Amino acid sequence: MVIITLQRNKCIGCNYCYELAPERFRMSKKDGKSVLLKSVEKKGFFTLKDPDHTIFDSCERAAKACPVNIISVKEI
């Protein structure tokens, strides 16, 4: 299981997450911030639990590239 968390309100819209993991991230046309696809929002944190382990590497690269460190990726 891969767990991805995005703290969207702190996003600066740099686009790195979408470039590195387009299968899980999009950029909003409304406000220019990152959107974690198929995620659930709770108190400003958007979380996705995905059984597909093949997404881990690209999402981890996106998390490391994020200049404001608002993406976390865990594999359990």
| Span 52-65, pLDDT tens digits | 999 999 999 999 99
pLDDT tens by residue, 11-42: 999 999 999 999 999 999 999 999 999 999 99
Quote the pLDDT of residue 66. 97
Tokens of 25: 């991230």
CATH number attached to the domain at 2-75:
3.30.70.20
Query: What number is the average pLDDT over the span 2-10?
Result: 97
Q: Residue 20 in 3-state DSSP? A: helix
Cα–Cα distances (Å) from 75 to 14, 22, 24, 32, in that order, read: 25, 19, 15, 28
Question: Does the pTM of the predicted model rise above 0.75?
Answer: yes
Residue 76: pLDDT band (50, 70, 90) is very high
Domain residue ranges of the chain, discontinuous segments joined by +: 2-75
